[in-house]
Amino acid sequence: MLDFSREEIHEVLDTAMHMRAEGYGRELPLRGKTLAMIFQKPSLRTRVSFETGMTKLGGHAIYLAPTDISLGKRETTEDIALVLSRYVDIIMARVFGHDIVEDLARYAKVPVINGLSDHEHPCQIMADFQTILERKGKLEGIRACFIGDGNNVANSLMLGAARVGMHMTVITPPGYEPTAAVVSSANDAAASTGSKIAVSNDIAAVSGADVLYTDVWASMGQEAEAAERKNVFEKYRIDAGTFEMADPEAVILHCLPAHYGDEIEYETSRLPNSAIFDQAENRMHAQNALMLHLAG
């Protein structure tokens, strides 16, 4: 998330909002370009939004399933990056270890987009920022709270918020906070934007929030911990009670997939304040703008 300056983030978001408002027309700015999409984990939104987005921009996307290239088993990450760079114009990768996407970026001769790693989910945050801009008209000074696990989405939100001057409180059960390293990077970035970054174990910290955000309690790769986490995270959810404490105009966000009844109540997710399906749509516009920025 910190690879982009505040200005670059706003530039991409301006293009994304223009695309959503005006449609794609006949321009096809990525005609003849190809995107390789490497997946080590499942996906609905990331795969379909990137593939459809590339089609709308006149380019082509290739889906590489976990078993197609067996990243790190059949071939080294270095060789995959070097070979793909001879064919395609952009690589997007959804991986377990963050080091894999960093290695791809290190060795590739073309831009590499993180489509989610265990550590970060920056494409999601670009779509979320677009959604917040659409609902609130600004990012700077917005008071956002993330409730749940201090995971990849929480990390990218915290770092992105620090970059654009949005205030961010991550509320987790004790022991599930974002790492000290992420909080420290966020605080460093926040120093120049006035963003206030906080971590709390108290759900009452949502009081007066403009944005309420949650995500699954157990991420992809943590399935074995899911049962235990259900008990630990019981209070850390978006429901009528949490919503009541936030600002009455608060926007409700969830990156999806959702586990209704766990981290978010179904009824609360369907309130007019909820923008969860705008977020899903905006994945495509934000990523299209990002691809144009990188390879247009």
Is 124 near ligand CP (CB under 6 A)? yes
The C-alpha atoms of residue 52 and residue 99 are separated, in whole angstroms, by 28
Sequence-separated (6 or more) residues with CB below 8 Å from residue 93: 37, 38, 39, 40, 100, 101, 104, 112, 113, 114, 115
Q: Which stretch binds ligand CP (CB under 6 A): 3-11, 37-45, 154-162, 231-239?
A: 37-45
Is residue 270 flagged as an active site residue? no
Task: Spell out a b/e string for 198-225, using b for 16 or more CB atoms within 10 Å of the CB, else e.
Answer: ebeeebebbeebbbbbbbbbbbbeeeee
The C-alpha atoms of residue 104 and residue 82 are separated, in whole angstroms, by 9
Place of tokens 């920025």: 293
Is residue 255 flagged as an active site residue? yes
| Residue 219 Cβ vs ligand NVA, minimum distance, rounded to whole Å | 3
Report the site for ligand NVA in 229-288 (rule: CB under 6 A).
Answer: 255
Sequence-separated (6 or more) residues with CB below 8 Å from residue 49: 280, 283, 284, 287
215, 263, 265, 278: which one contacts ligand NVA (CB under 6 A)?
215
Q: Which partner from the list ligand NVA, ligand CP, none does 44 bind, CB cut-off 5 to 8 Å by kind?
A: ligand CP
The CA-atom distances, in angstroms, between 64 and each of 35, 60, 287, 294 are: 11, 13, 18, 21
Give 9 or 116: the residue with its C-beta nearer to ligand NVA.
116
142, 162, 216, 289: which one contacts ligand NVA (CB under 6 A)?
216
Report the site for ligand CP in 243-272 (rule: CB under 6 A).
Answer: 255-257
Is residue 47 flagged as an active site residue? no
| Residue 127 Cβ vs ligand CP, minimum distance, rounded to whole Å | 8
Is 187 near ligand CP (CB under 6 A)? no
| Residue 138 Cβ vs ligand NVA, minimum distance, rounded to whole Å | 26
Q: Where are the alpha helices (DSSP H) in 26-179?
A: 45-56, 66-69, 77-87, 98-107, 122-136, 152-164
The C-alpha atoms of residue 222 and residue 231 are separated, in whole angstroms, by 15
Q: Which partner from the list ligand CP, ligand NVA, none does 219 bind, CB cut-off 5 to 8 Å by kind?
A: ligand NVA
Is 219 near ligand NVA (CB under 6 A)? yes
- Just list the catalytic residues: 94, 121, 124, 215, 255, 283
List contacts with ligand CP (CB under 6 A). Answer: 43-46, 116, 124, 255-257
